[in-house]
Structure 1
Amino acid sequence: MGASFLSTVTSLVPLVAVPSSLNTATTVAIKYSTHAGAIRCIKIESEVNCGDGFHRRDILKCVGVSIGMELIASSGCFIETASAADLIQRRQRSVFLSNIKDTLYTAIKGNPELIPYIQTLALNDAMTYDKATKSGGPNGSIRFSSEISRPENKGLYAALNLIEEAKREIDSYSKGGPISFADLIQLAAQSATKATFLAAAIRKCGGNEEKGGLLYNAYGSNGQWGLFERQFGRADAQEPDPEGRVPVWEKASVQEMKDKFSAIGLGPRQLAVMSAFFGPDQLASESLLANDPQVSPWVQKYQRSRETVSQTDYEVDLITTMTKLSTLGQQINYEAYTYPVQKLDFGKLKL
């Protein structure tokens, strides 16, 4: 590798023409000839103000650009094609995800009372994960009647109905096949959680929605969702997950909650930050958790954070925990929802 690099540098340095005068702005031209179909030349304009010759960084910039171009040119048509296809697929998924968010935003805005139930739906779908057998997790199995009717899922029918209605709309405009319940349930929890963040910002602005929106956009957590959104391509389970894996949160003791979180690799910190997902009464959940000496410091930390303008500690930790929960045991297909692009027949174009 080193020998190849040095030989490349040696072959490229003579291409850099050093002008006779370096006291004024100088144009350095690097001409580069490659195989057919590749880049032919490049022109670099740089400001040079030194009396003794090029600065070392100027030489390195020129050589670095040339090396980069040679690597690109020598990579061949296969890599160029693969890169173009990858960019197209990323764009397709990005557009599709944006449309899904719009659909969910509208659905949740019209049914704000369902927000805590949507969050619990996503949590319970994920909490079926069993670390020992690598089974269960956020795989959409909660959609089956035998699972949604279990005691821990009591009261979640309306949230599931909202998901099903949104799915019908999303599938109607999807170009890359129907969206999985596994993906949609987790994305709905994201939208519901964002709605709570926005509502908190509006309250801080005395109920003014416009000012609240500006506050959330300025200080909110939109930029923290990147990893969560890349985990997009879960497959649906074809049968319900086994019973007995998810506590009835409203009846569970703190120790039972801690044991369940510990079983999937999470601790008191994550338990505290997820308190809003344990049912419609977050204050009741936090009051219960505050009685435990391991969980209480985190409960207090997040309560203080929610009182600040940015809520940074609370929002970042919640998004991080949601991201981990949303992928437990799942194989993500990063090509999901992509589709072949129709090729243009240039022979039929009339110029």
Structure 2
Amino acid sequence: MGMVSFISTVPSLLALAPLPSPTTSTTSVAVSKYPIHASTVRCKIEADNGSEDQFGRRDILKCFGATLGMEIIASSGSFVEEANAADLIQRRQRSEFQSSVKGTLFTAIKANPDLVPSLLTLAMNDAMTYDKATKSGGPNGSVRFSSEISRPENKGLSAAMNLLEEAKKEIDSYSKGGPISFADLIQFAAQSALKSTFLASAIRKCGGNEEKGSLLYTAYGSNGQWGLFDKQFGRSDAQEPDPEGRVPLWAKASVQEMKDKFSAIGFGPRQLAVMSAFLGPDQMATETLLATDRDVAPWVEKYQRSRETVSETDYEVDLITTLTKLSALGQQINYEAYAYPVQRVDFSKLKL
């Protein structure tokens, strides 16, 4: 029986040590020039009678595997640092691109404020195709297809879709990480539309003074609540329309039909009430209808009272939370989307 002590660390792979002599119980392999005490591995070798001085192939593989594993652990620090650096670069790229997207959408919506209700309904209807049983549909941009946008529930939304198609051309022209998906564009347009309504409300409370209204929204508004929504940036577009019959005709739907649809995607009366602005062009008419239902009425009244306050906290926070959940139904977010490789400088071509 012989005992061999393998001591190894990255970056070298050691050659096999000299075979032990019959009179030697252990032999030590030379220590690497990068010693790490925790990487010492002792492997017991049991030799056959008559071949005591030879390694078995399986024994060599066991020791080699243990040694290699310790080498990986010892070198992981540099890999982690490089991975973290790459991750930070990707986050910065996505953040900068997202800020530009928001700027483009804000400008487009400011020039077309009459399309705000349509943009909200467009985002709602694109997401409402989600089917929990089959895990299909959802906010995947399928509403862009002519056969889907022309359905009865999407009547009057073509102008909003046209606005986003024009915005997409501009966004894609400055994107370094590929074209933005319609799935992302539609949901972020809803975000911009909501922000514009929140800001408009603050301006009204300041007697129409835009500067004071902007200060009021900055001080009491809900910008800080969008963190999770902003992280969900990287949806993929559907390649065909979603099945028909999944989205109610909101203008003609009963409260019970609305409740049933919201329940089917995991929402309740609270979420139905707070999303009233998405359920057609006339929010007050929708709320009047919802207030006839005893389950929904308390929430309608709660959000109406909240909108009368300076901060509108209850209404805005619940609305952002609900839209965030709605805009991610069934979606696998690609957190590397819109990132791009950083150009490396070829120092050999520099003239010093």
Same fold per superposition (TM over 0.5) = yes
Q: Does 1:239 align with 2:205?
A: no
Q: Report 1:53-64 matches (<5 A).
A: none
Percent identity of equivalent pairs: 81
What's the counterpart of residue 324 of structure 2?
Answer: 323
Q: Does 1:227 align with 2:228?
A: yes
* SS of alignment partner, residue 286 of structure 1: helix
What's the counterpart of residue 133 of structure 1?
Answer: 134
Question: 1:145-178, CA deviations, whole angstroms, 9 ceiling, x for partnerless residues?
Answer: 0000000000000000001000000000000000
Q: Distance in 2 between matches of 1:218 and 1:242?
A: 44
Q: Distance in 1 between matches of 2:219 and 2:251?
A: 35
Q: Report 1:244-323 matches (<5 A).
A: 244-323=245-324
Q: Does 1:121 align with 2:122?
A: yes
Q: Report 1:196-207 matches (<5 A).
A: 196-207=197-208
Deviation at 1:345, TM superposition (A): 2.0
What's the counterpart of residue 31 of structure 2?
Answer: none
What's the counterpart of residue 86 of structure 1?
Answer: 87
Q: Distance in 1 between matches of 2:345 and 2:310?
A: 51
What's the counterpart of residue 190 of structure 2?
Answer: 189
What's the counterpart of residue 210 of structure 1?
Answer: 211
Q: Which amino acid aligns with 1:185?
A: I
What's the counterpart of residue 155 of structure 1?
Answer: 156
- Report runs of 4+ in structure 1 exceeding 4 Å deviation: none
Q: Which amino acid aligns with 1:313?
A: D
The count of corresponding residues between Structure 1 and Structure 2 is 281
Q: Which amino acid aligns with 2:281?
A: P
Q: Distance in 2 between matches of 1:219 and 1:350?
A: 55
Q: Which amino acid aligns with 2:106?
A: Y
Q: Distance in 2 between matches of 1:348 and 1:309?
A: 60
Deviation at 1:76, TM superposition (A): 2.0
Q: Distance in 2 between matches of 1:90 and 1:79?
A: 16
Deviation at 1:74, TM superposition (A): 7.3
Q: Which amino acid aligns with 2:140?
A: N
Question: 1:286-332, CA deviations, whole angstroms, 9 ceiling, x for partnerless residues?
Answer: 00000000000000000000000100000000000000000000000
* SS of alignment partner, residue 331 of structure 1: coil
Question: 1:110-167, CA deviations, whole angstroms, 9 ceiling, x for partnerless residues?
Answer: 0000000000000000000000000000000000000000000000000000010000
What's the counterpart of residue 112 of structure 1?
Answer: 113
Q: Where does the alignment leave 5 or more consecutive residues of structure 2 unmatched? A: 1-34, 37-73
Deviation at 1:349, TM superposition (A): 3.8
Q: Distance in 2 between matches of 1:245 and 1:331?
A: 21
Does the C-alpha gap of structure 1 residues 343 and 133 become closer, same or farther in structure 2, counting only changes over 3 Å?
same
What's the counterpart of residue 103 of structure 1?
Answer: 104
Q: Distance in 2 between matches of 1:253 and 1:129?
A: 20
* SS of alignment partner, residue 166 of structure 1: helix
Deviation at 1:75, TM superposition (A): 4.8
Question: 1:173-210, CA deviations, whole angstroms, 9 ceiling, x for partnerless residues?
Answer: 00000000000000000000000000000000000000
Q: Distance in 1 between matches of 2:211 and 2:350?
A: 49
* SS of alignment partner, residue 259 of structure 1: helix
Question: 1:196-245, CA deviations, whole angstroms, 9 ceiling, x for partnerless residues?
Answer: 00000000000000000000000000000000010000000000000000
Q: Distance in 2 between matches of 1:74 and 1:239?
A: 47
Q: Distance in 2 between matches of 1:309 and 1:155?
A: 33
Question: 1:41-88, CA deviations, whole angstroms, 9 ceiling, x for partnerless residues?
Answer: xxxxxxxxxxxxxxxxxxxxxxxxxxxxxxxx9752111110110000
What's the counterpart of residue 25 of structure 1?
Answer: none
Q: Which amino acid aligns with 2:340?
A: Y
Q: Distance in 2 between matches of 1:148 and 1:124?
A: 10
Q: Where does the alignment leave 5 or more consecutive residues of structure 1 unmatched? A: 1-33, 36-72
| Structure 1 vs Structure 2 CA RMSD | 1.4
Q: Which amino acid aligns with 2:197?
A: T
Q: Does 1:347 align with 2:348?
A: yes
Whichever of the two has the greater Rg, that structure is: 2
* SS of alignment partner, residue 155 of structure 1: coil
Q: Distance in 1 between matches of 2:214 and 2:334?
A: 34
Q: Distance in 2 between matches of 1:323 and 1:350?
A: 52
Q: Distance in 1 between matches of 2:233 and 2:351?
A: 41
Q: Distance in 2 between matches of 1:165 and 1:194?
A: 20
User: How high is the TM-score relative to the length of structure 2?
Assistant: 0.78
Q: Distance in 1 between matches of 2:279 and 2:266?
A: 18
Deviation at 1:280, TM superposition (A): 1.1
